[in-house]
Structures are given as structure tokens and as C-alpha cells.
Amino acid sequence: MAYQPTGMQALFPVLLPRMAAGERRDVYDSAVAQNENNLNQNFELLYGKLLALEAAIASGGKGENE
């Protein structure tokens, strides 16, 4: 069985901002919430890829392309 790469979806950038002096709390909270959302999306993408790999291994590597 030859390995066939399936590719990887782009991950979302995650920045961990620090609250700047004089920055409004609601603006900072919004930036943190957006980064939390991006991080969660990254984990969902990785989790989906791991499930697909596990399924391929469990089936003996026989995928749709074979």
C-alpha cells in the first residue's frame, strides 16, 4: 500500500494578546474571544484529521482511493 497524502486544511492563527495600558476591557475581551474561537477551530480540524487516520488504520489502510 502506497501512502497517499490527503493534505491538511489551513489552521487559523492564534495570538495571545496582552492587555495594553489604557485599552478598554471590552475590546480586549473581544480579541481574546476571537482567539479562543480560532483555537477551538484548530482543535476541531486536528481532531477530524485524527479520526480519519484512526479509521484508515482500523480498516487496514483501505480507503476510498483503493
pLDDT in single tens digits along all 66 residues of the chain: 565 666 666 677 777 778 888 989 998 999 899 888 988 888 998 888 888 888 888 888 555 555
> Does 3 fall in a domain?
no
> Does 37 fall in a domain?
yes
CB hemisphere CA count around 2 (13 angstroms): 3
Write phi, then psi, for 9 (nearest 5 degrees).
-70, 150
* Proportion of the chain in helix, strand, coil states, percent, rounded to 5: 50, 0, 50
Determine the pLDDT at residue 5.
Answer: 64
Residues with Cβ within 8 Å of residue 22, at least 6 apart in sequence: none
Domain total of the chain: 1
pTM beyond 0.95: the answer is no
> Does 15 fall in a domain?
no
> Does 10 fall in a domain?
no
Q: Structural domain of residue 34, as residue ranges?
A: 23-59
Distance CA 66, CA 63 (A): 6
